[in-house]
A = this chain, B = another copy of it.
Amino acid sequence: MSRKRSASPTLGDVAELAGVSLATASKALNARGEVAAGTRRRVLKAAEELGFQHNALARGLTSGTTRMVGLITDELGGRFAIPILLGVENALGDEQMSVLLCDARGDAIRRRHYISTLVARQVDALIILGDRNDVRPSLSADIPVPVAYVYAESDSPDDLSILADDEGGARLAAEHLVSLGRRRIGHITGEETYRAARDRAAGMAAVLEEHGLSPAGGGALYGAWSQRWGHQAAGVLLSAEPGLDAVFCGSDQIATGVVEGLRDLGRRVPDDVAVVGYDNWEVFAAECRPPLTTVDLNLQHLGATAVRHLFGALNGEQASGVVRQPGRLVIRESTGPAARPH
């Protein structure tokens, strides 16, 4: 398999075979219009015959655009990077663009290094993906191409940040529970150091207040982003609030633990207690017994939105500020109509 890179046919070869000049061959292949139909046909045929492919390097050098976008992630292994990356890749594919991927592994030095590597590679634009939704220092200073910050927010108002609406997502969940007639609603979530956790708690608290309700257990229970914590916290919440009739969870993993914990304590889901998750992570949400009603942040769409804005910027449109993209509620059985009317 270690064939040497065989001399691939060049535009010169095509021109020769077609009996035209380099310039004409180039114009014909690029459909620049100013070529006779017959000539064009001959060139196309020659290219076809030789299996000609433009050398992207040479093309980039002359045209000034590489049709490559650099994507820097913080933590590819994390849960958020992949769906966003997928959305980016999809959107770029539609435009015949490619993504050059770098994983900074949460290291600032490495991030700077990758940025300059990508710039040296002449990417047309850059996407900087965060693994949590906190605000972070802008990195745009030395970047001569458009940049989009996705998921994590840049602290500079001159930058473009594309964010998921965590507070709004939480509101959807809470409104849903309230509309189902639930009144004693608790919130079990992950680490308080995450803005995601705080935003979701805030969204939920706001809805409860609007409806004149107070949070079951006195407020959000912060802990870890794990099933184990959910399982444990379910017990804690239940002793604090025996009349508990709903729990909104900060993640589907937590929700899975909560559902098990409630079951172990003899509560039926959703009959006694309705449960809502967050993330719509299929392997948890769909496989939970019962399957979870949850909030889908539409991360894939987040990536696509970033690409769209970047294209805008490349076309000279102004691109800065914060775009906050709404999530949606996915309703499954864990909030099925309550058995007990209120």
Contact = CB atoms under 8 A, between A and B. Distances in A.
Interface residues of A, number: 69
Contact of A313 (B1, B82, B143, B144): B1
Copies in the complex: 2
A342 B213 CA distance: 58
A84 B61 CA distance: 32
A316 interface: yes
Given A1-B140, A2-B319, A4-B144, 12 more contacts: A1-B158, A2-B316, A3-B143, A3-B144, A5-B144, A55-B120, A58-B61, A68-B100, A77-B82, A77-B86, A253-B287, A257-B287
A239 interface: no
Contacts of A26: none
Nearest to A62: B57
A55 B100 contact: no
Interface in A92-118: 93, 96, 98-103, 116-118
Contact of A103 (B55, B89, B253): B89
Interface string A149-173: 0000000001110000000000000
Contacts of A319: 1-2
A179 interface: no
Interface string A248-268: 000001000100100000000
A283 interface: yes
